Structure 1
Amino acid sequence: MLKRFTEHINSNLPLLRERPLLLACSGGVDSVVLAQLCTSSGLKVTLAHCNFQLRGDESDADETFVQELGEKLGVKVITNQFDTEKYAEVHRGSIQMAAREMRYQWFKELLGTGKFHFVLTAHHADDDLETFLINLSRGTGIEGLTGIPIRNEKVIRPLLNFSRQEILDYAKENTLEWREDSSNAESKYLRNKIRLDIVPQLKTLHPSFLENFKRTQSHLEQTKSLVHNYMEDIRTKLFMRHGDTAKIEVAELARLVPLQSYLYGLLHEYGFTEWNDVKDLLNAMSGKEVRSKTHRLVKDRTHLILSPIETTLEQVFWISEEVTETENPISLRFENVKTIENTGRNTIYLDKEKLNFPLLLRNWEKGDYFYPYGMDGKKKLSKFFKDEKVDVISKEKQWLLCSNDTIAWVVGRRADKRFKVEDSTKDILKITLVT
């Protein structure tokens, strides 16, 4: 197994060579074997042990065992003790989820120190099968059926090609010692029930059941890649991108069959899960929206607009007369000039004497109105936006430059004629939106 492991590292994971690695070690047979294989094949590892303090003296004994294992292997050991039960209570989650979250958060913090490049975990082929069955039992798409990835950003699983039996055989052949977690024998947990009751039955169906499963999963992974590439082509055709926002034409989207499958393929990576709500959005009134934890999808007349959910802590910004440039929330440049030269949406010229400093930069609000340059009379901003066909997201991001309570510029769109430069103007203020 050591030879196969070394060949696997050299062929598939050469990035692990000559780099400091963190190895998650519980003290169980899987992580002990991984530690032994890594050190024997010349990888530079530090063992990281989580004491979740869930089994009293047994948990403390696990921690001591890992420290002694580090001494035997001649590698450093880092340990951390967690109040798992309190964390689960505060976050209202299961003990298993609490342990997982704290574990990976700690690994992330250790990686953040810059002392380690990757985290190695001892997941193997049987773990992958169990995850497949768990996902299958809960209902899943092709992502859930492809199981545990060999690499997920900074987390790498070098044993994923090896079975639990191969790991046990290696441990016994090399007279390795390990710790048994008594909770692994309890079938009250779903994973344990699958491991103890279901997987053994499946393996009796065919002597090479696990190998056949891995082959099937490889086919699924290839299918997932094909689907991903196809969906990227569709996304490129349908998504009109502007910065971090994308507009999707409803009519084009509605032509896709089966629609819900396409919606999932196009939008699931943005965190959406309520697919009936997303589907209903196609026929909804303008302004209706569906949100995920990170993104929002808004109906705007003939389009859906996809954008990140932004939290703006401050909506009002003051600009004194001495300021020549601003960077937050938008980039503006202020210049005192003698004549008017180039004008446009992003450049205006105002009679400085008509302005009251400090100027105010704020978001637009319902009820706002101004006197658009080049038009007769005043106009509500809501009507101006409608005539200009400004979409919902752009309206929300619209900034107004104001003198006291009076709008001087709908930034990037239209100036207010009450501040226009006239023949009697002595001081001209040129303001440019820097894009």
Structure 2
Amino acid sequence: MFPKFKQHITNAMPFLKGQSLLLACSGGLDSVVLTHLCIEEGMDVALAHCNFNLRGKESDGDEKFVRELASKLKVEVFVKRFDTEQYAEEKRLSVQMAARELRYQWFDELLRTKGFDYVLTAHHADDSLETFLINLSRGTGIEGLSGIPEVNQKVVRPLLPFSRDEILGYAQSGNHHWREDSSNVSTKYLRNKIRHNIVPNLKELHPTFLQNFINTQHHLQQTNGMVKQHLHELKSELFLEGEDVINIPIAELQKLHPLESYLYGLFKDYGFTEWNDLKNLLTAMSGKQVFSKTHQLLKDRDNLVLSEIKNRVNGTYTVYLEGNTSKLPVHLLFEHTETVEKQGENVVFLDKEKLNFPLVLRKWEKGDYFYPFGMQGKKKLSKFFKDEKMNLVSKEKQWLLCSGGDIVWVVGKRADERFRVEDSTEEIIKITLVK
């Protein structure tokens, strides 16, 4: 197996050579074999072992074994003990999902703090087949059938082309020892049911079933890559970047067929999963919205407007003339001046005597009006927003600087005529919106 492994690293993963590598080692067959292969190849590895405290003395025995393996091979070892069941209860996760979260959070921490370049895990071809069948049983698209990726950012899986039988053969021929996890025998877990009850029967169908599966999954991965490239190009055409929002023309979306598949591909990364809601949004009344956990999608006339929910800041803020405004949701710079320069969207000049301090910074409310600078008469903010062609997201983000109950400045848009500087003004205040 080693010559094949060596060739695989040279052809598919040359970026690993000369790098500092953290190898996730449970003490089981797969990770022990990966450890020996990497050492034999001369790669710079350290071991990382997670003790999830789920199997009592057996878990402690795994930890002891990995420490002794690291000592024998003269490599550094990191060990972390977790209270996995408590974490699962706090996060409302299954124990398996909790263990996965804890494992990768710790690996990320080690990458940051210890200077490792990549994390190596020992997933192999049989793991990929089991994952394929799990996803197939739950219902999935091409991405779920494409299997475990060989490289996922900083996580690399060098054993994916190899079968469990090849790995076992290498361990036995080298007289390498490993730990058996008793939970792998139990069929109460879906993966173990597939491993022990389904996969053996599939392999009986054809002597090269696993290799045929690897080839098929490779084709699926290539097809998925083409789909991702097409969607990336489509996004660059349709997703038009605005200020804190993305505008998407509805007419262009409606030209795409099959529409549901395109909506899934274009919006899944933003957390949207209710595809009928997205489809209905295209023909809904302007102002209709749908939400994911992280994003809002708004129908605004001929566009969908995509924005992050976390960027929303609400509330009312008191603004003092001499106070620190850098901690406000918008940074305003107050200055005393003796001359009036050109007033614009981001700079206003006001008559201090007309202002009642402290000022108030707030969002707009129904019925708000002001007297736009340079115009006679008042105007409702709703009409002003419409004339400015502001969508609902932009209106929700708009801040108003107020004196008493009066709007002084639609911040970054237009000042109020009532507070303008006149010939009789004795003290001028300049306010700048600092971007």
Give yes or no for TM over 0.5.
Answer: yes
Shift of 1:52: 1.7
The equivalent residue for 1:253 is: 253
The equivalent residue for 1:236 is: 236
Structure 1: how far apart are the matches of 2:332 and 2:111? 39
Structure 1: how far apart are the matches of 2:167 and 2:366? 66
The size of the alignment, in residue pairs, is 435
CA contact (8 A) 1:324 1:335 kept: no
Segments of structure 1 that go 5 or more residues without pairing to the other structure are: none
Instruction: Say yes or no: does 1:315 pair with 2:283.
Output: no
Structure 1: how far apart are the matches of 2:270 and 2:62? 40
The equivalent residue for 1:38 is: 38
Instruction: Say yes or no: does 1:227 pair with 2:227.
Output: yes
Deviating 4+ runs (over 6 angstroms)? none
Structure 2: how far apart are the matches of 1:244 and 1:220? 36
Shift of 1:18: 2.8
Segments of structure 2 that go 5 or more residues without pairing to the other structure are: none
**What code does the residue aligned with 1:25 have?**
C
How is 1:48-67 mapped onto 2 (pairs within 5 angstroms)? 48-67=48-67
**What code does the residue aligned with 1:17 have?**
K
Residues 339 and 313 (structure 1), Cα distance of their counterparts in 2 relative to 1, 3 Å cut? closer
Shift of 1:395: 0.7
Shift of 1:152: 1.4
SS class of match (2:377): coil
Structure 2: how far apart are the matches of 1:324 and 1:182? 62
The equivalent residue for 1:209 is: 209
SS class of match (1:412): coil
CA contact (8 A) 2:314 2:363 kept: no
The equivalent residue for 1:297 is: 297
Question: TM-score by structure 1 length?
Answer: 0.93
Cα deviation 1:286-343 (Å, max 9, x = unaligned) = 3322222221111222221111111656634444334697474334444444443323
CA contact (8 A) 1:323 1:334 kept: no
Structure 2: how far apart are the matches of 1:29 and 1:297? 48
The equivalent residue for 2:114 is: 114
SS class of match (1:104): helix
Structure 1: how far apart are the matches of 2:318 and 2:326? 10
**What code does the residue aligned with 1:20 have?**
S
**Bigger mean CA deviation after superposition, 201-210 or 260-269:** 201-210
Structure 2: how far apart are the matches of 1:165 and 1:116? 31
Cα deviation 1:125-150 (Å, max 9, x = unaligned) = 11111111111111111111111111
Aligned Cα root-mean-square deviation (Å)? 2.1
Shift of 1:385: 1.5
How is 1:128-147 mapped onto 2 (pairs within 5 angstroms)? 128-147=128-147
Shift of 1:268: 0.9
Cα deviation 1:382-431 (Å, max 9, x = unaligned) = 23222332101111111112223321100122111110122222333333
Shift of 1:263: 0.6
Structure 1: how far apart are the matches of 2:166 and 2:234? 43
**Bigger mean CA deviation after superposition, 299-308 or 338-347:** 338-347
Residues 21 and 134 (structure 1), Cα distance of their counterparts in 2 relative to 1, 3 Å cut? same
SS class of match (1:268): helix
CA contact (8 A) 1:111 1:118 kept: yes
Structure 2: how far apart are the matches of 1:270 and 1:405? 39
**What code does the residue aligned with 1:94 have?**
S
Question: TM-score by structure 2 length?
Answer: 0.93
**What code does the residue aligned with 1:309 have?**
I
SS class of match (1:248): strand
Instruction: Say yes or no: does 1:100 pair with 2:70.
Output: no
CA contact (8 A) 1:150 1:156 kept: yes
Shift of 1:80: 2.0
The equivalent residue for 2:427 is: 427
CA contact (8 A) 1:124 1:163 kept: yes
**Bigger mean CA deviation after superposition, 331-340 or 257-266:** 331-340
Structure 1: how far apart are the matches of 2:400 and 2:139? 48
Structure 1: how far apart are the matches of 2:186 and 2:119? 28
Instruction: Say yes or no: does 1:345 pair with 2:345.
Output: yes
Among the aligned pairs, what percent are the same residue? 62
Shift of 1:124: 0.6
**What code does the residue aligned with 2:231 have?**
M
